[in-house]
Amino acid sequence: MFKKTKNTINEFKQFALKGTVMNLAVGVIIGGAFGKIISSFVSDIFTPVLSILFGAGIKDLTLVIVSRITNTDIMIGYGLFLQNIIDFLIIAFSVFIFVKIMNKTVLKEESESPEPSKEEILLAEIRDLLKNKCLEHEIEFTEDNTKTMEND
């Protein structure tokens, strides 16, 4: 029984400490913090500017419907809903821009070919020398010739 528990704990450690799980955990933590920053931006900076246009804070926007049956007012507070939509749109746009920048960076790094190693430079020089020798003796230098040379 103790061995099974110990094996389970070891398996869990291996799972939890894998790079992908740790990257996911870091992403979730950073995403939560990023969400708080965007929410603060919307509620503390963006919303006050919009409140100048509407004359009231977005959170305070309501729709009042008078019920003829019960003779009472029904208040629908749609302002907070609008603020959450604005939060979402700004977060989605920010993530889009971030991913776009990351893709450009990754593609740029992938497109830059690394400098050839000393062995590759030496092999290229040998290839060029062989090519020149073949041209001197009027032998066509192609992949087929190199294959037949290997077979001989």
pLDDT of residue 45: 85
pLDDT of residue 31: 83
pLDDT of residue 147: 47
CA distance 144 to 2: 66
pLDDT of residue 91: 80
Q: Using H for helix, E for strand and C for coil, what is the string for 78-136?
A: CHHHHHHHHHHHHHHHHHHHHHHHHHHHHHHHHHCCCCCCHHHHHHHHHHHHHHHHHHH
CATH superfamily, region 2-112: Large-conductance mechanosensitive channel, MscL; domain 1 (1.10.1200.120)
pLDDT of residue 150: 46
pLDDT of residue 1: 59
CA distance 47 to 77: 16
Domain ranges (residues) in the chain: 2-112, 114-147
pLDDT of residue 152: 45
Residue pLDDT tens, the chain, 152 long: 567 777 888 887 777 777 677 778 888 888 888 888 888 887 788 878 877 877 767 777 888 888 888 888 888 888 888 888 888 888 888 888 888 887 887 776 666 667 888 898 889 999 888 888 877 776 665 655 554 444 44
